[in-house]
Amino acid sequence: MHTMAESLPPFAPSPLAPKRATGLLSGRRILLGVTGGIAAYKACELARLLRAEGACVQAVMTRAAREFVGAASLQALTGSPVYDDLWGARVDDGMAHIGLSRDADAIVVAPATADFLGKIANGLCDDLLSTLVLARRNERCPMLLAPAMNVEMWAQPAVQRNVAQLHADGAQLLGPAWGEQACGETGAGRMLEPTAILEEVIAAFQSKVLQGRRVLVTAGPTYEAIDPVRGITNRSSGKMGYAVARAAREAGAAVTLVSGPTRLAAPYGVRCIDVLSAQEMRAAVLEAASDADVFVAVAAVADWRPESATTNKIKKSDGAPPTLALVANPDILAEVARLAEPPFCVGFAAETEDVIDHARAKMRAKRLAMVIANAAQDAIGADESELAIIGETEVRTLPRAPKLELARQIIAAIAERLPPTAA
């Protein structure tokens, strides 16, 4: 096979396709294996997404994959020459089958054919991709496989045996998804979409400190109706709560996010329940709380709501403006913390002054396990924040960073303090 840059070493940065210095995969070297299925065209989009998050991507194709997608596309999108030949002499020492996976931080095979799953489940290696998979160092190079095949192929006992073996061997299987297939049939076997695979790759680099735990998160503002078109709300964007939900899922938890109105897309892999008012949020939280190991209350719940919302729009009359009678909203976090068997409760305190003192007072008053304090005027709506994790006896300050990075540290701190599960 001829490519444009025969002599470049594996994972060489391309002068044509500069990497993003920042990104959720910045500095990661991903070996992208592409095998011979219809979904191979989606590997091009996956390569683009991985690179856009800052990863260095090295593509390796099987002979069959070349029937479905051109190496030139993958080369252009990864910025590196594509490898496909066990016997090629393009890597200096002629040992591409070992060198390529030695350099990789993860191997992602998308799509992974039935044939390929069968080979690697049985330790067979008769081409470059299967050989370098076999030659990888298990402990430092996780392998993620995105199967893609016809529904009947996927259901075959032989394929399911191979899948079970691969699970047992520590491979991570992504999907497949259920839906309409290229052949016109419908069922399980579609490759996960590239955006979903990207999320799984990002998560693969996070330690699974909440594996098997159930985490409940609230996020965003609440909206308290005055009449059908007006209401009381606040400037919470939901970014911090969504980041916490995302970080918890990355850490292996099953996550439910109860969200007030925001402009944010639901985080990948998170069960999202949309609510409007504090009372709706309370109902959704109480339903999910009895099942949760951890509750992180990030939402900026309105403290008060109008005593009653009118059914019709209040007319603007020439007289005096209407007087709003307010009543207190329920304190959802305090209520959950008072349950007979409460989850590990974490509160957020967005204060405008004496941040740590107020946060400590909140922790004691509500009997919380932990409070995260930040300055309200600084954190609301921003992509970055700085905050303090406040426990019974200690305060840990986290310097300014993107909210996802802070959320990952919060999740790590929760995991450290979480009582072990009864085995």
Ligand X SMILES: Cc1cc2nc3c(=O)[nH]c(=O)nc-3n(C[C@H](O)[C@H](O)[C@H](O)COP(=O)(O)O)c2cc1C
- Residue indicated by tokens 């007030």: 260
Cβ 149 to ligand X, closest distance in Å? Answer: 4
Q: Closest separation between CB of residue 408 and ligand X, Å?
A: 35
Rounded least distance, CB 2 to ligand X, Å:
20
CA distance 13 to 17: 8
Select which of 56, 125, 183, 345 is catalytic.
183
CB nearer ligand X, residue 42 or residue 48? 42
Give residue number: closest CB to ligand X.
Answer: 37
The residue type at 304: W
Report the residue number, 40 or 301, with the smaller CB distance to ligand X: 40
Binding site for ligand X (CB under 6 A): 35-39, 62, 64-65, 113-116, 148-149, 153
User: Which residue, 128 or 415, has its beta carbon nearer to ligand X?
Assistant: 128
Distance in angstroms (rounded) separating the CA atoms of residues 322 and 318: 11
377/352 Cα distance (integer angstroms): 6
Least spacing, CB of residue 87 vs ligand X, in Å: 16
Q: Which is nearer to ligand X, 160 or 207 (CB)?
A: 160
Residue 154 or 348 with smaller CB distance to ligand X: 154
The verdict on whether 345 is a catalytic residue reads no
- Please identify, using beta-carbon distances, which residue of 14 and 130 lies nearer to ligand X: 130
> Least CB distance from residue 76 to ligand X, whole Å?
21
What is the rounded CA–CA span in Å between residue 184 and residue 156? 19
Instruction: Quote the least distance from Cβ 97 to ligand X, whole Å.
Output: 15
Give the active site residues: 183
